[in-house]
Structure formats: C-alpha cells, structure tokens
Structure 1
Amino acid sequence: MSPPVRRTVLTLHVVISVGWLGLDLGLLGLGVTALTTGDPEMLRASYLAMNVLGDTLIVPVSLGALLTGVLLCLGTPWGFARYHWVLVKLVTTLVAATASVFALRSHIGTAAASVSRALPAELLSLDLGGVDRVLVIAPSVALALYALNVALSVFKPFGRTAYGRRRAARPDRVAGP
C-alpha cells in the first residue's frame, strides 16, 4: 500500500472507529436515561432514538471499522498475525461488531417496539424482561473493548507472534515496524 493510500485508509479507520465509540456513548446515554427516568415520554423517546441510531448506524459503522482495520492489516507491515496486539484488536473488533449487529440491534428493536405499543400510562411500569439493563450493559462493554483497542494501538504490547518472528528472520524479507 503506498503511503498516501495507507494514510487515507488509516484516517478513515480512525474516523469510523471514533464514530463507533461516539455511537456507543450516545446509546449508553439513552439507555441510562430510559432506565432511570420518571418521565414516560422521555422513556419512549430514549428507546425510539436508540432504534433510529441502531437501524441506521450500527451496521455501517461497525463493519466500516472492521473493514478498514482489515485493509490496514493487508496493506501494512503490521499484517494479521505478525503481532499479538494486532490479533487481539482484530478479535475484539470482530466480537464487538458481531454483538452490535446481531444482539444489540435486536434488543434495541424489542425495546422500541414495546414502548411504541404501550400507552403513556403503562410506560413506567412496562416490563422489558431485562432488555432495559442489557441496553446499558452492552454499550458499556463495547466502550471497554474500544478503550482496550486504543490502548493496544498506542502501546503495541506483547511483541511479535511466533509467525512474526519467523517471518522477520527470513533473509529475503524486510523486517516490519
């Protein structure tokens, strides 16, 4: 990957990843508001806003972060399996993207559908079967994963994998970063 292309993909990766972090901060704020409010319309508005964000942003943002990360692995000396920190980032991003797309969106949809059907007088006593708590816990866990990925990117701990050490020792290869 040429330096201008690498910088462009890296910039996209950082922007999309920061957007994913912001999306989860917003979802967490709305989830906490819905869980703690005494105002039935605020409860309804929180879950409906979460649904709009979940339906429009979770899939493209999570997949965008994953795709640009994979492109960086393919097009830079860091590779997929040369460094432990890259593998950990890849796994945490896969876990977060999978959980966001398949689990979080369905829980948000369940909550939004429930508050849409309920009368205003029923909203504060509405039993969501624990979904209300999941919509606070899931973004919190996601934010912890993103913080871990940031720390891994900054500190690059654990060194090379066995594959990375063998590849760097090959005389026909230029060692990576």
Structure 2
Amino acid sequence: MSTITLRSDAPPTRSRFRLSPRTRKLVLVTHIASAGSWLGLDLVLGILVVTAFTAEAQPAAAAAASIATFATWPLITIGLLTLATGTVLGLGSKFGLVRYWWVLAKLALNLVLVTLVVLVLAPGTEELAGAALDTLATGASLEVTSTMVFPPIVSSTAVIVAMTLSVFKPWGRVGARRLRRAAAASVDRSADAPAHRGV
C-alpha cells in the first residue's frame, strides 16, 4: 500500500491586533473628523493670508498676527491626531501600514505635512506675527512675503489627495508583482518536480 506525503510551506497563522467593529467605527469617525478639521484650518489660513496681502494696513496686520494662531499648535495637534487615528486604523484592519500603496502614500503625506508645520511654517509665522503686532502698535505698513501663499495651498491639496486615496484605494498591494512571480515560480517547480511517494 502506497501513501502520498504532503508538505505545507505555509507559515503558521499568527494572531494580530484587530479592532472590534464598534471601536473601529469610533476611530474612523475621529479620523475623518480630524482630517476635515485639518482641511478647515488650511482654508482659514488661506483666507488670512489673502487678507494680509490685499486688505488695508490695519486689517492686514491683524490677519497676519492671527496666522500664527492657526499655523502652530492647532495644525500640529490635528495633524498628530490624524496620524494617530490613521495608524490605529491601519494596524487594526486588513490594510495594515505597509501592505498597500495608498496607505503608505497617506502615511507619508501626513508625516511630511506635520514636519513642515513644525520645522518651516511655525518659525516663519511666529516672526510674521511679531512684525504684525509691531505694525498694529506703530501704524506702519506690513510686508508679507509671497512664500506665505504656499503653505495653505500645499497643505490643503495634500489633505484632499489623502482623502481621495481613502475613497478609491488605488495601486494595489505593496510587492504584489513580486508575490505573483514567486507564486508562479512555485507552481512551475511543483509541476516539474516528481511526486514523492513512500511505501
């Protein structure tokens, strides 16, 4: 009597952190609300920048002085909250953090934006706010550099792109082609290898 010996190369199943449906919905609502708040702060920042460029001296200085309020701790806080909730959603769902290209793209956008706020935008707006307060006290004209136009445009565009990625989920899995080639090669080897039979 002959028997066929079968060997499985599949790795053992490991338990992984998963969110309960109720917790996932709560984190998802928080993530969506934080991303929407981020976009709203960008729009307010854009309005203040335009006002600083186009209004009369006193209203322009008041708008410029208010820019630092929106460009420092509110944006940093909401950016970190979006990052934290997105990370929890990724780790607690089938998508993970490094399995799908769209998740990686969102993660990269979030990290880059928060870093730019901390290292670039915040120091510049603090200096602008100081000059604006001096202008309000003395009545002199305020000069606003053209570079202030870019932060609200870049940030709001990146947030909208991240929202779009969440909806359409493009590009598939990371390393999908490599996995398909490996699977095809494994099938070819299995087809060419003789069956192992033991008596």
The yes-or-no answer on 1:106 pairing with 2:123 is yes
Task: Tell me the equivalent position of 1:149.
Answer: 162
State which drifts further: 137-146 or 112-121. 112-121
Q: Offset of 1:102 from its aligned partner?
A: 2.2
Q: What's the offset of the Cα at 1:165?
A: 7.7
Would the alpha carbon gap of residues 94 and 164 (structure 1) be closer, same or farther in structure 2, given more than 3 Å must change?
Answer: farther
Question: What is the RMSD computed on CA atoms of the aligned residues?
Answer: 2.1
1:137 aligns with one of 150, 156, 180 = 150
Q: 1:19 aligns with which of 27, 34, 37?
A: 37
Matched residue, 1:78: 95
Q: TM-score, normalised by structure 2?
A: 0.75
Aligned-pair CA distance for 1:136 = 1.6
Letter in 1 for 2:155: A
Q: TM-score, normalized by length of structure 1?
A: 0.84
Segments of structure 1 that go 5 or more residues without pairing to the other structure are 171-177
Flag structure 2 segments of 5+ consecutive residues without an equivalent: 1-18, 184-199
Q: Where does residue 34 of structure 1 map in the other structure? A: 52
More helix by share: 1
Q: 2:105 aligns with which of 76, 83, 88?
A: 88
- How many Å separate the matches in 2 of 1:34 and 1:92? 28
Say yes or no: does 1:52 pair with 2:69: yes
- Return the offset for 1:120: 4.5
CA contact (8 A) 1:47 1:112 kept: yes
What is the count of residue pairs matched by the alignment? 162
Aligned to 1:6: 24
Distance in 2 between the 1:67 and 1:164 partners? 30
